[in-house]
Amino acid sequence: MFLDHFKSACEEKGLKIVPVIEACGGSKGKLDGWKKGKNPDSGFVCALAEYLGVSTDRLLLGKDLFNAEAKEIAQEWMQLDERGKAIIKGEILRRLEKLSEGVSDGQEETASFLRDDEPIADIIEFKQRLPVLGRSAAGTPLDMVRDDYGTVPDRDKGGTFAVIAVGDSMIDVGIKDGDYVVIRQQPTAENGEIVLVAVEDGSTIKRFYRLAKHVELRPCSTKHPVQKYGPRDSFRVLGLVVDVISPAELNA
């Protein structure tokens, strides 16, 4: 349960949960909702994870799925040319085998494919994946409800997480209903960039423009209106859209 994982992460840092929630722009009302079983929106989970210095997996699942050293090894491998891979492959495999000793529950899948002696390319593919944190509107703002949405491949675009697009307001730039939209988590954006933003208790994907007195979120479809937010409105950039993956590509 999210609340239990969140409490545990706060306790590890010696922090109280309500001040952490407030520091991330929330209120005690969010805590009351979680106690009643309401799921947190993914944008706020990202804010909490960044504040606590933990992964979103730690808050949502109670454990980190991937060991930090294993991620580093995977990144080293991806940066090598073919000759370099041939030279270094033995060393990388040796280090991965070492990681498999005394593996924790959160790394059980990693250990299983190491025992099966699968090729290094499959090891890299396993590690280079991003969590899908929920659904976000490519239309009017939508509450991003956390559920088990699985993962998508990280296609080396610098993504942090992904959301599932709902609606057709961004169809002219190739974001269709049901697509997986990969987000690079960042708090700011330049005019004209396509972003994921948190608005009120929901989220939406739009083209961003900051004007003199307000922010405009512009759709990429003539069917939908421009959304405007002033300084008193609840508004926060969650990240930049860096990739779009269709369900057909995942199933290919």
Query: Is residue 7 within 8 Å of residue 17, measured between CB atoms?
Result: yes
Tokens representing 66 are 């991937």
Catalytic residue among 42, 136, 169, 203: 169
Give mean pLDDT, residues 210-227: 92
Tokens representing 155 are 């296609």
The amino acid at 170: M
SS3 of residue 37 by DSSP:
coil
CA dist 199 and 206 (Å) reads 12
Predicted local confidence at residue 67, as pLDDT: 54
Predicted local confidence at residue 75, as pLDDT: 54
Catalytic residue among 42, 136, 203, 206: 206
SS3 of residue 245 by DSSP:
strand
pLDDT band of residue 77 (cuts 50, 70, 90) is low
Which has the closest alpha carbon to 92: 111, 66, 74, 118? 74
Residue 14 CA to its chain's centroid (Å): 25
Query: Is residue 186 within 8 Å of residue 239, measured between CB atoms?
Result: yes
Residue 219 above 90 pLDDT?
yes
85 Cβ contact list (under 8 Å, min separation 6): 77, 120
Predicted local confidence at residue 123, as pLDDT: 39
Q: Would residue 206 show up in a list of annotated catalytic residues for this protein? A: yes
CB atoms within 10 A of CB 246: 14
At 229-248, the pLDDT tens digits run: 998 888 888 889 999 999 98
Q: Would residue 169 show up in a list of annotated catalytic residues for this protein? A: yes
Predicted local confidence at residue 186, as pLDDT: 87
User: How much is the pTM?
Assistant: 0.53
pLDDT band of residue 159 (cuts 50, 70, 90) is confident
CA dihedral sign of residues 129, 135, 137, 138: positive
Q: What share of the chain in percent tops pLDDT 90?
A: 22
Task: Report all structural domains of the chain as residue ranges with CATH numbers, in order of start.
Answer: 2-61 (1.10.260), 68-129 (no CATH), 130-251 (2.10.109.10)
Predicted local confidence at residue 111, as pLDDT: 37
CA dist 28 and 35 (Å) reads 11
